[in-house]
Amino acid sequence: MSWAALLLLAGGSWLLKAVGPMLLGEREPSPGVARLLALVAVPLLAALIVVQTFGDDDRLVLDARVPALAVAGVCVWRRAPFLVTVLAAAATAAGLRALA
Amino acid sequence: MRKPPPYAADALGIGLATGVYGISFGVLAVGAGLSVAQACAMSLLVFTGGSQFAAVSVVAVGGSMATAVVNGLLLGVRNTAYGLSIATLLRGGLGRRMLASHLVIDESTAMARAQEEPGEARGAFWLTGFAVFVLWNLGTLGGALAGSGLDPGTFGLDAMFPAAFLALLAPQLRQRDAPTVALVGALIAVVLVPLTPAGVPVLAASLALLVAVRRR
Protein backbone atom coordinates (compact mmCIF):
# COMPACT_ATOMS: atom_id res chain seq x y z
CA MET A 1 0.00 0.00 0.00
CA SER A 2 1.37 3.45 -0.86
CA TRP A 3 1.89 6.06 1.88
CA ALA A 4 -0.11 8.58 -0.16
CA ALA A 5 -3.15 6.27 -0.20
CA LEU A 6 -2.74 5.58 3.51
CA LEU A 7 -2.63 9.29 4.39
CA LEU A 8 -5.59 10.01 2.12
CA LEU A 9 -7.59 7.33 3.93
CA ALA A 10 -6.49 8.75 7.30
CA GLY A 11 -7.50 12.32 6.41
CA GLY A 12 -10.80 11.25 4.92
CA SER A 13 -11.62 9.03 7.90
CA TRP A 14 -11.02 11.93 10.30
CA LEU A 15 -13.20 14.27 8.21
CA LEU A 16 -16.05 11.73 8.26
CA LYS A 17 -15.82 11.49 12.06
CA ALA A 18 -15.48 15.26 12.49
CA VAL A 19 -18.66 16.40 10.68
CA GLY A 20 -20.73 16.22 13.88
CA PRO A 21 -18.28 17.51 16.50
CA MET A 22 -16.80 20.26 14.32
CA LEU A 23 -19.90 21.58 12.52
CA LEU A 24 -23.09 20.52 14.22
CA GLY A 25 -22.97 22.31 17.58
CA GLU A 26 -26.40 22.13 19.18
CA ARG A 27 -28.43 20.75 16.30
CA GLU A 28 -29.34 17.08 15.94
CA PRO A 29 -29.59 15.32 12.54
CA SER A 30 -33.04 14.25 11.40
CA PRO A 31 -33.85 10.68 12.48
CA GLY A 32 -34.19 9.51 8.87
CA VAL A 33 -30.74 10.78 7.90
CA ALA A 34 -29.14 9.37 11.06
CA ARG A 35 -30.73 5.97 10.41
CA LEU A 36 -29.45 5.80 6.83
CA LEU A 37 -25.93 6.87 7.82
CA ALA A 38 -25.89 4.17 10.50
CA LEU A 39 -26.89 1.56 7.89
CA VAL A 40 -24.18 2.49 5.36
CA ALA A 41 -21.69 -0.12 6.58
CA VAL A 42 -24.19 -3.01 6.47
CA PRO A 43 -24.32 -3.75 2.70
CA LEU A 44 -20.58 -3.08 2.39
CA LEU A 45 -19.68 -5.59 5.10
CA ALA A 46 -22.07 -8.17 3.61
CA ALA A 47 -20.49 -7.61 0.18
CA LEU A 48 -16.96 -7.86 1.59
CA ILE A 49 -17.86 -11.20 3.22
CA VAL A 50 -19.06 -12.79 -0.02
CA VAL A 51 -16.32 -11.28 -2.21
CA GLN A 52 -13.59 -12.35 0.22
CA THR A 53 -15.10 -15.84 0.57
CA PHE A 54 -16.08 -16.71 -3.03
CA GLY A 55 -14.06 -14.27 -5.14
CA ASP A 56 -10.85 -15.24 -6.97
CA ASP A 57 -9.99 -12.32 -9.25
CA ASP A 58 -13.04 -12.17 -11.53
CA ARG A 59 -14.23 -15.72 -10.85
CA LEU A 60 -16.43 -17.25 -8.16
CA VAL A 61 -14.83 -20.32 -6.55
CA LEU A 62 -15.55 -22.71 -3.70
CA ASP A 63 -12.45 -23.45 -1.62
CA ALA A 64 -11.28 -23.75 2.01
CA ARG A 65 -12.53 -20.23 2.78
CA VAL A 66 -16.16 -21.44 2.64
CA PRO A 67 -15.95 -23.94 5.54
CA ALA A 68 -13.79 -21.36 7.35
CA LEU A 69 -16.62 -18.82 7.07
CA ALA A 70 -19.10 -21.42 8.34
CA VAL A 71 -16.90 -21.97 11.40
CA ALA A 72 -16.69 -18.20 11.91
CA GLY A 73 -20.49 -18.05 11.69
CA VAL A 74 -20.81 -20.58 14.50
CA CYS A 75 -18.30 -18.56 16.58
CA VAL A 76 -20.23 -15.32 16.06
CA TRP A 77 -23.50 -17.06 16.83
CA ARG A 78 -22.00 -18.45 20.08
CA ARG A 79 -20.71 -14.93 20.87
CA ALA A 80 -17.06 -15.98 20.81
CA PRO A 81 -14.49 -13.15 21.17
CA PHE A 82 -13.24 -11.54 17.96
CA LEU A 83 -9.79 -13.13 18.03
CA VAL A 84 -11.22 -16.61 18.64
CA THR A 85 -13.52 -16.14 15.63
CA VAL A 86 -10.80 -15.09 13.18
CA LEU A 87 -8.30 -17.66 14.49
CA ALA A 88 -10.86 -20.46 14.19
CA ALA A 89 -11.49 -19.42 10.58
CA ALA A 90 -7.77 -19.30 9.80
CA ALA A 91 -7.15 -22.68 11.47
CA THR A 92 -10.01 -24.25 9.48
CA ALA A 93 -8.67 -23.02 6.15
CA ALA A 94 -5.05 -23.84 7.02
CA GLY A 95 -6.01 -27.33 8.25
CA LEU A 96 -8.05 -28.17 5.15
CA ARG A 97 -5.25 -26.95 2.86
CA ALA A 98 -2.68 -29.02 4.76
CA LEU A 99 -4.86 -32.13 4.26
CA ALA A 100 -5.56 -31.47 0.58
CA MET B 1 -8.88 8.20 46.86
CA ARG B 2 -11.72 9.08 44.50
CA LYS B 3 -13.94 6.16 43.55
CA PRO B 4 -13.52 5.25 39.84
CA PRO B 5 -16.59 6.06 37.72
CA PRO B 6 -19.05 3.19 37.15
CA TYR B 7 -18.11 2.86 33.47
CA ALA B 8 -14.35 2.54 34.08
CA ALA B 9 -14.27 -1.27 34.20
CA ASP B 10 -16.37 -1.54 31.03
CA ALA B 11 -14.14 0.94 29.21
CA LEU B 12 -11.03 -1.00 30.14
CA GLY B 13 -12.66 -4.31 29.17
CA ILE B 14 -13.64 -2.93 25.78
CA GLY B 15 -10.11 -1.58 25.38
CA LEU B 16 -8.59 -4.99 26.10
CA ALA B 17 -10.94 -6.73 23.65
CA THR B 18 -10.03 -4.19 20.99
CA GLY B 19 -6.35 -4.74 21.68
CA VAL B 20 -6.76 -8.41 20.85
CA TYR B 21 -8.64 -7.40 17.71
CA GLY B 22 -5.72 -5.09 16.91
CA ILE B 23 -3.39 -8.10 16.93
CA SER B 24 -5.38 -9.71 14.12
CA PHE B 25 -5.31 -6.43 12.18
CA GLY B 26 -1.52 -6.25 12.52
CA VAL B 27 -1.08 -9.84 11.30
CA LEU B 28 -3.38 -9.31 8.31
CA ALA B 29 -1.89 -5.95 7.36
CA VAL B 30 1.67 -7.28 7.04
CA GLY B 31 0.28 -10.45 5.38
CA ALA B 32 -1.31 -8.17 2.76
CA GLY B 33 2.06 -6.55 2.08
CA LEU B 34 2.05 -3.47 4.32
CA SER B 35 5.24 -2.71 6.23
CA VAL B 36 5.15 -2.80 10.04
CA ALA B 37 5.40 1.02 10.01
CA GLN B 38 2.44 1.30 7.63
CA ALA B 39 0.31 -1.06 9.71
CA CYS B 40 1.05 1.02 12.82
CA ALA B 41 0.51 4.34 11.00
CA MET B 42 -2.86 3.09 9.83
CA SER B 43 -4.02 2.21 13.34
CA LEU B 44 -2.72 5.54 14.70
CA LEU B 45 -4.08 7.79 11.95
CA VAL B 46 -7.10 6.03 10.43
CA PHE B 47 -8.21 4.54 13.77
CA THR B 48 -11.42 2.82 12.74
CA GLY B 49 -11.25 -0.94 12.44
CA GLY B 50 -13.77 -1.60 9.67
CA SER B 51 -12.15 0.88 7.29
CA GLN B 52 -8.69 -0.49 8.03
CA PHE B 53 -9.71 -4.12 7.40
CA ALA B 54 -11.56 -3.11 4.22
CA ALA B 55 -8.61 -1.17 2.77
CA VAL B 56 -6.12 -3.92 3.66
CA SER B 57 -8.36 -6.63 2.18
CA VAL B 58 -8.28 -4.79 -1.17
CA VAL B 59 -4.48 -4.50 -1.00
CA ALA B 60 -4.24 -8.23 -0.16
CA VAL B 61 -5.85 -9.24 -3.47
CA GLY B 62 -3.86 -6.74 -5.52
CA GLY B 63 -6.64 -4.18 -5.98
CA SER B 64 -5.91 -0.56 -6.84
CA MET B 65 -5.03 2.06 -4.22
CA ALA B 66 -8.08 4.09 -5.24
CA THR B 67 -10.36 1.11 -4.55
CA ALA B 68 -8.70 0.53 -1.19
CA VAL B 69 -9.20 4.16 -0.15
CA VAL B 70 -12.80 4.39 -1.39
CA ASN B 71 -13.81 1.09 0.25
CA GLY B 72 -12.19 2.21 3.50
CA LEU B 73 -13.91 5.59 3.43
CA LEU B 74 -17.33 4.09 2.68
CA LEU B 75 -17.03 1.94 5.78
CA GLY B 76 -16.10 5.07 7.73
CA VAL B 77 -19.36 6.83 6.85
CA ARG B 78 -21.06 5.28 9.85
CA ASN B 79 -18.66 7.26 12.05
CA THR B 80 -20.33 10.38 10.62
CA ALA B 81 -23.61 9.10 12.03
CA TYR B 82 -21.91 8.47 15.38
CA GLY B 83 -20.31 11.92 15.43
CA LEU B 84 -23.64 13.56 14.64
CA SER B 85 -25.43 11.55 17.32
CA ILE B 86 -23.05 12.52 20.14
CA ALA B 87 -21.98 15.99 18.91
CA THR B 88 -23.76 17.74 21.79
CA LEU B 89 -21.56 15.82 24.26
CA LEU B 90 -18.34 16.84 22.52
CA ARG B 91 -18.51 20.62 22.82
CA GLY B 92 -15.38 22.57 23.73
CA GLY B 93 -12.47 24.39 22.14
CA LEU B 94 -11.21 23.68 18.64
CA GLY B 95 -8.33 21.42 19.74
CA ARG B 96 -10.57 19.45 22.05
CA ARG B 97 -13.16 18.85 19.34
CA MET B 98 -10.47 17.86 16.83
CA LEU B 99 -9.12 15.27 19.25
CA ALA B 100 -12.62 14.07 20.18
CA SER B 101 -13.39 13.60 16.46
CA HIS B 102 -10.48 11.19 16.10
CA LEU B 103 -11.95 9.05 18.89
CA VAL B 104 -15.46 8.82 17.35
CA ILE B 105 -15.75 5.05 16.73
CA ASP B 106 -18.18 2.19 17.44
CA GLU B 107 -16.97 1.52 20.98
CA SER B 108 -16.71 5.09 22.35
CA THR B 109 -20.10 6.03 20.87
CA ALA B 110 -21.81 2.92 22.23
CA MET B 111 -20.38 3.53 25.72
CA ALA B 112 -21.39 7.22 25.68
CA ARG B 113 -24.93 6.37 24.61
CA ALA B 114 -25.22 3.70 27.32
CA GLN B 115 -24.88 6.31 30.12
CA GLU B 116 -27.84 8.20 31.56
CA GLU B 117 -26.20 11.47 32.66
CA PRO B 118 -24.47 13.77 30.13
CA GLY B 119 -21.45 14.11 32.45
CA GLU B 120 -21.01 10.36 32.64
CA ALA B 121 -21.62 10.00 28.90
CA ARG B 122 -18.81 12.49 28.25
CA GLY B 123 -16.48 10.67 30.66
CA ALA B 124 -17.33 7.27 29.17
CA PHE B 125 -16.64 8.58 25.65
CA TRP B 126 -13.18 9.89 26.50
CA LEU B 127 -12.11 6.99 28.71
CA THR B 128 -13.30 4.35 26.24
CA GLY B 129 -11.78 6.26 23.33
CA PHE B 130 -8.38 6.50 25.03
CA ALA B 131 -8.40 2.88 26.25
CA VAL B 132 -9.27 1.61 22.77
CA PHE B 133 -6.74 3.94 21.11
CA VAL B 134 -3.83 2.80 23.30
CA LEU B 135 -4.62 -0.93 23.20
CA TRP B 136 -5.64 -1.03 19.50
CA ASN B 137 -2.27 0.47 18.60
CA LEU B 138 -0.29 -1.80 20.93
CA GLY B 139 -2.17 -4.80 19.49
CA THR B 140 -1.43 -3.69 15.92
CA LEU B 141 2.28 -3.35 16.66
CA GLY B 142 2.43 -6.79 18.32
CA GLY B 143 0.46 -8.44 15.50
CA ALA B 144 2.52 -6.75 12.76
CA LEU B 145 5.80 -7.88 14.37
CA ALA B 146 4.52 -11.43 14.97
CA GLY B 147 2.96 -11.70 11.50
CA SER B 148 6.00 -10.64 9.48
CA GLY B 149 7.16 -13.60 7.41
CA LEU B 150 3.94 -15.66 7.64
CA ASP B 151 2.69 -17.01 4.29
CA PRO B 152 -0.96 -15.84 4.09
CA GLY B 153 -2.36 -18.92 2.30
CA THR B 154 -0.62 -21.57 4.40
CA PHE B 155 -1.84 -20.03 7.64
CA GLY B 156 -5.36 -19.32 6.38
CA LEU B 157 -4.95 -15.55 6.75
CA ASP B 158 -7.15 -14.97 3.68
CA ALA B 159 -9.97 -16.75 5.53
CA MET B 160 -9.57 -14.30 8.44
CA PHE B 161 -10.97 -11.39 6.37
CA PRO B 162 -14.49 -12.76 5.85
CA ALA B 163 -14.53 -13.94 9.47
CA ALA B 164 -13.56 -10.45 10.65
CA PHE B 165 -16.20 -8.79 8.46
CA LEU B 166 -18.83 -11.23 9.72
CA ALA B 167 -17.95 -10.41 13.34
CA LEU B 168 -18.22 -6.69 12.52
CA LEU B 169 -21.53 -7.12 10.70
CA ALA B 170 -23.35 -9.28 13.27
CA PRO B 171 -24.02 -6.55 15.90
CA GLN B 172 -25.20 -4.14 13.20
CA LEU B 173 -27.91 -6.52 11.99
CA ARG B 174 -30.13 -5.52 14.92
CA GLN B 175 -31.00 -2.22 13.21
CA ARG B 176 -34.28 -2.02 11.37
CA ASP B 177 -34.02 -3.15 7.70
CA ALA B 178 -30.39 -4.21 8.26
CA PRO B 179 -30.83 -7.96 7.45
CA THR B 180 -32.60 -7.16 4.16
CA VAL B 181 -30.01 -4.54 3.22
CA ALA B 182 -27.19 -7.01 4.02
CA LEU B 183 -28.76 -9.76 1.90
CA VAL B 184 -29.38 -7.48 -1.09
CA GLY B 185 -25.84 -6.07 -0.78
CA ALA B 186 -24.34 -9.57 -0.76
CA LEU B 187 -26.40 -10.56 -3.81
CA ILE B 188 -25.37 -7.47 -5.79
CA ALA B 189 -21.71 -8.15 -4.99
CA VAL B 190 -21.75 -11.85 -5.87
CA VAL B 191 -23.48 -11.21 -9.21
CA LEU B 192 -20.98 -8.49 -10.13
CA VAL B 193 -17.76 -10.38 -9.23
CA PRO B 194 -17.47 -12.07 -12.67
CA LEU B 195 -18.70 -8.98 -14.56
CA THR B 196 -16.82 -5.97 -13.15
CA PRO B 197 -13.27 -4.97 -12.09
CA ALA B 198 -12.16 -5.68 -8.50
CA GLY B 199 -13.62 -3.25 -5.98
CA VAL B 200 -16.74 -2.44 -8.00
CA PRO B 201 -18.88 -5.26 -6.50
CA VAL B 202 -18.39 -3.93 -2.96
CA LEU B 203 -19.03 -0.31 -3.97
CA ALA B 204 -22.14 -1.27 -5.95
CA ALA B 205 -23.48 -3.14 -2.92
CA SER B 206 -24.19 0.27 -1.37
CA LEU B 207 -27.18 0.46 -3.72
CA ALA B 208 -28.86 -1.96 -1.33
CA LEU B 209 -29.44 1.06 0.94
CA LEU B 210 -32.23 2.09 -1.46
CA VAL B 211 -34.26 -0.73 0.08
CA ALA B 212 -34.15 1.13 3.40
CA VAL B 213 -34.88 4.53 1.80
CA ARG B 214 -38.01 3.25 0.15
CA ARG B 215 -39.24 1.58 3.34
CA ARG B 216 -39.24 4.57 5.72
In chain A, where the domains are located: 1-39, 47-100
The confidence score (pLDDT) of residue B12 equals 86
Helix H or strand E encompassing A55 = strand A55-56
- Residue A27 pLDDT > 70, yes or no? no
Selected for mutation to probe chain B from A42, A63, A78 (highest B CB count within 10 Å) is A42
B210 touches chain A (CB under 8 A): no
- Can you give the pTM of this predicted structure? 0.81
Distance between CA atoms of B172 and B178, rounded to whole angstroms?
7
A61 touches chain B (CB under 8 A): no
- Residue A82 pLDDT > 80, yes or no? no
The pLDDT-based confidence of B215 (bands split at 50, 70, 90) is low
Contacts 24+ apart (CB under 8 A), A59-63: A59/B193, A59/B194, A60/B190, A60/B193, A60/B194
Distance between CA atoms of A38 and B167, rounded to whole angstroms?
17
Name the residue ranges covered by the structural domains of chain B: 8-171, 175-216
Distance between CA atoms of B10 and B108, rounded to whole angstroms?
11
Instruction: Taking residues B157-184, report their average pLDDT.
Output: 90
CA angle at residue B71 from B26 to B192, to 5 degrees? 120
Contact A40 B86 (CB under 8 A): no
A73 touches chain B (CB under 8 A): yes
Q: pLDDT tens digits for B44-54?
A: 999 999 899 99
Q: Calculate the average pLDDT of chain B.
A: 89
Max avg pLDDT among B26-35, B74-83, B197-206: B26-35
- Nearest by CB: B155 against A48, A76, A94: A94
Distance of CA A79 to the CA centre of its chain: 17
- Residue B216 pLDDT > 60, yes or no? no
ipTM for the predicted complex comes to: 0.88
